[in-house]
Chains A and B, each alone.
Chain A
Amino acid sequence: MPNPYIPMLTKVKSMVSENEVNDIKTFELEFIKEEEYKNFNYIPGQYAEISIIGKGECPIGIASSPTEEGTIKFTIKKMGTVTSSFHNSDVGDTIGVRGPLGNGWPMEELKGKNIVVIGGGFAFSTLRSLILYVLDEKHRKDYGRVTVIYGNRNSGEVLYRDVLEEWEKRDDIDVVLTIDREEDDWTRKVGFVAAIVKEVAPSSDNAVAVVCGPPIMITTAQNELEKLNWKAEQILNSLEMRMKCGIGKCGRCNIGEKYVCIDGPVFSLAELKQMPKEH
């Protein structure tokens, strides 16, 4: 069994800025060893502990879908010491990757169901992975209707414009983009995510909601869903916690007896209600 603390080495293939203020970038990483890439079998919703070796490590959700072959992508926001050093790196730099970690979105259980994706801000990265996976021609028929509600503070913050535009053109997915306040060139919806959820009123019939974003957005959106008769078992969250080892050993991500790094980060609302309010 390989030592789970030793990172696999990758190189930065490209760095793309995702927003106007330039503090969110998507990194495309290429594994140095071919067989390590082949063994890196992940599902949407999982994350990896990535590091600039010498500067530190942090857990980042995998933004690419397993259907996008050759490389893996991570979207990183510049917030602290480690994320800043990512932003200061260049193409060709070595990045350590430990993963895939976590439980991921339950792709098997989502089969045959309608999926309502509700995302806010830059937490959309693992949702990108999920949607690309579902829309891929190999899997599309396994899943029902897909509705995406994605909100941001302003239009400059909208991530993944290229794939969003492609999705808007398709007829097997409904994409509803929204920003908090009116803007001159914005022709799509305006309003907080929870208000748009109320407006779109997605049906809970044979459906699962996947909610990911800042805590306030999650709470308000979930309240709206519950008013629309969604049950707690049908709503899934991806939690964020401070994580260091990612493998359930360092102890800091525990909520009750569960560790967010291995038992999560995906939990249903029903499960969260059973756990202490320490997240």
Chain B
Amino acid sequence: MVIIVGLETENKDIENNMQEIAKGLLKEKKVDVIIGYKKGTLPLLSQPIIIDKEEDVDKLLWNNLCYVNLAKYLVPRVPRFVDSEKGNLKVGVVAKGCVGRGLIHLASENKINLDEITIIGIPCNGVVNRQRVEMEIGEKEILEVSVLGNNVIVKGKDFEKEFPFDEYMNELCKGCKIRKPSLVSKFPDLCVGECEEYSNIVDEFDDIAEFESKTPEEKWEYITEALSVCTRCYACREACPMCYCNLCFVDQNKPVWFGKTTDLPDIIVYHLIRAMHMAGRCVACGACSLVCPMGIDLNFINRKLEKIVKERFDFTSGLDPDTLPPMVDFKMEDAEEFMLEED
């Protein structure tokens, strides 16, 4: 009795192609299970789905509402991906660029074994910024959403509104240069849609240009303003594939390092320190912003840190599974102005 809401997109070709590839993988037993997305029950949502039968591939969906970073389900592996006799199953992941980056980065941190993963690379052109659309529509219920060309068409009981997709997509998606997982170019038959050869990914970090142009006081004001509504639910941490610590720093109690209340200092400390722990590891998937129940655009702090990592260490996360992230590695050429004397 739940009404399943669909989303009509031009991505039908991509969706059909993906389903074909998925079917082939299951048929040839190259994978045991596939995780992807399926239609959600609310107009602006999709759901993750795990399938293990060929006849279920037509449930797999591809559209601009595929938010969740599926890499999250690999670390730790959800029970469906582990068999009591065979051990770890071979998993196929329907991966847009950032999901693939997530998987590759986790492989570089030895949390997953890429031999057990097949990445079905999807060329993503961005996801709709759900919270922003909902806030623009305000206090009216959204009943139907479709994306046609550059238009996000939102309908309700007595209204219809159009938004330009390039403005109302997730902030991160706007400047995203990594639209497909990098490994896909090694296995072109797994690339859905047109495959591009890219080896020089250059992230321009346009999305934080406005934040960077502020003075330090303005930046502090912006950060504290944005974070002030945090309820400390930790959805951001739970949704992030890179947050897999058994005991998060904020939960430590021998001794207690940080406060857990919604007092502003406690909130700021939690978010800034989590961002520091993510430096060089964030794959810009935006899951943290998209799951926040209060609609805080959390990702901008991480983006700034990633830019600094790129400038200082010439490193972009999630492109090469064999390169260690800079915060867990060192090179003799690393700058150490603050510790060693200059020769």
The distance from the CB of A122 to the nearest CB of chain B, in whole angstroms, is 20
Residues 203 to 260 of chain B near chain A (Cβ within 8 Å) = 253-256
With a cutoff of 8 Å between Cβ atoms, the chain B residues found around residue A206 in the complex are none
Within 8 A of B (CB), among A41-82: 80-81
B residues near A80, Cβ cutoff 8 Å: 253-254
Chain B residues with Cβ below 8 Å from A81 are 253-256
CB distance from A242 to the nearest CB of B (A): 12
Of all chain B residues, the one with the shortest Cβ separation from A80 is B254
Instruction: Point out the residues of chain A lying under 8 angstroms from B255, CB to CB.
Output: 81
A80 vs B253: C-alpha distance when bound (angstroms): 9
In the docked arrangement, what's the CA distance between A81 and B253, Å? 7
CB distance from B255 to the nearest CB of A (A): 7
Per the 8 Å Cβ criterion, residues 247-293 of B in contact with A are 253-256
Interchain CA distance A124-B256 in the complex, whole Å: 31
Residue count of chain A within 8 Å CB distance of chain B: 2
Query: Which residues of chain A have C-beta atoms less than 8 A from B253's C-beta?
Result: 80-81
Contacting residues, chain A, for B256 (C-beta < 8 A): 81
The answer for the CA separation of A80 and B256 in the assembled complex, in Å, is: 12
A81 to B255, CA, bound (A): 7
In this complex, what residue of A is CB-closest to B256? A81
Give the CA-CA distance A80 to B252 in the complex, in Å: 12
Bitwise, A134-171 to B at CB < 8 A (1) or not (0) is 00000000000000000000000000000000000000
Q: For the complex, what is the distance from the CA of A81 to the CA of B256, rounded to whole Å?
A: 9
Complex CA gap A279/B255 in Å reads 26
Report the bound CA distance from A80 to B254 in whole Å. 7
Bound complex: CA of A166 vs CA of B254, how far in Å?
Answer: 40
Q: When chains A and B are docked, how far (Å) is the Cα of A81 from the Cα of B257?
A: 13
List residues of B (140-178) whose CB comes within 8 Å of A's CBs: none
> In the complex, what distance in Å separates the CA atom of A105 from the CA atom of B253?
33
Closest Cβ of chain B to A101, distance in Å, is 23
CB distance from B137 to the nearest CB of A (A): 36
Rounded to whole angstroms, the CA-CA distance of A32 and B256 in the bound complex is 30
Please name all residues of chain A whose beta carbon is closer than 8 Å to the beta carbon of B254 when the two chains form the complex. Answer: 80-81
Report Cα–Cα, A181/B253, bound state, in Å.
Answer: 36
CA–CA, A80 to B255, complex, Å? 9
The docked-state distance in angstroms from the alpha carbon of A66 to that of B255 is 36
| Closest A residue by C-beta to B254 | A81
Bound form: Cα–Cα A96–B256 in Å: 21
Q: How far is the CB of A80 from chain B (nearest CB, A)?
A: 7
**Bound CA span A25–B215, Å:** 57
Question: Quick one: closest A residue to B253, CB to CB?
Answer: A81
User: Min CB distance, B180 to chain A, in Å?
Assistant: 45
Chain B nearest CB, measured from A250 CB (Å): 14
CA distance A44 to B256 in the complex (A): 34
In chain A, what residue has the closest Cβ to B255?
Answer: A81
- 1/0 per residue, CB under 8 A from A, across B111-125: the answer is 000000000000000
Give min CB distance, B258 to chain A, whole Å: 14
Nearest-neighbour CB distance to chain A for B113, whole angstroms, equals 33
Interface residues of A in 80-114 (CB under 8 A from B): 80-81
CB distance from A81 to the nearest CB of B (A): 5
Measured in the bound complex, the distance between the Cα atoms of B312 and A68 in whole Å is 70
Q: How far is the CB of B260 from chain A (nearest CB, A)?
A: 13
Q: How far is the CA of A81 from the CA of B251 in the complex (A)?
A: 13
Q: How far is the CA of A244 from the CA of B30 in the complex (A)?
A: 50
> Would you give the 0/1 interface string for A207-225, flagging 1 where the beta carbon is closer than 8 Å to chain B?
0000000000000000000
Least distance between B252 CB and chain A CB atoms (Å): 10
In the complex, A155 Cα to B254 Cα: how many Å? 30
Task: Determine how close the nearest CB of chain B comes to the CB of A76; give it in whole angstroms.
Answer: 16
- Considering the complex, give the chain B residue whose CB is closest to the CB of A84: B254
A-contacting residues of B (Cβ < 8 Å)? 253-256
Across the A-B interface, give the 6 residue pairs with the lowest CB-CB distance, nearest first: A81-B254, A81-B253, A81-B255, A80-B254, A81-B256, A80-B253
6 contacts between A and B (CB under 8 A): A80-B253, A80-B254, A81-B253, A81-B254, A81-B255, A81-B256
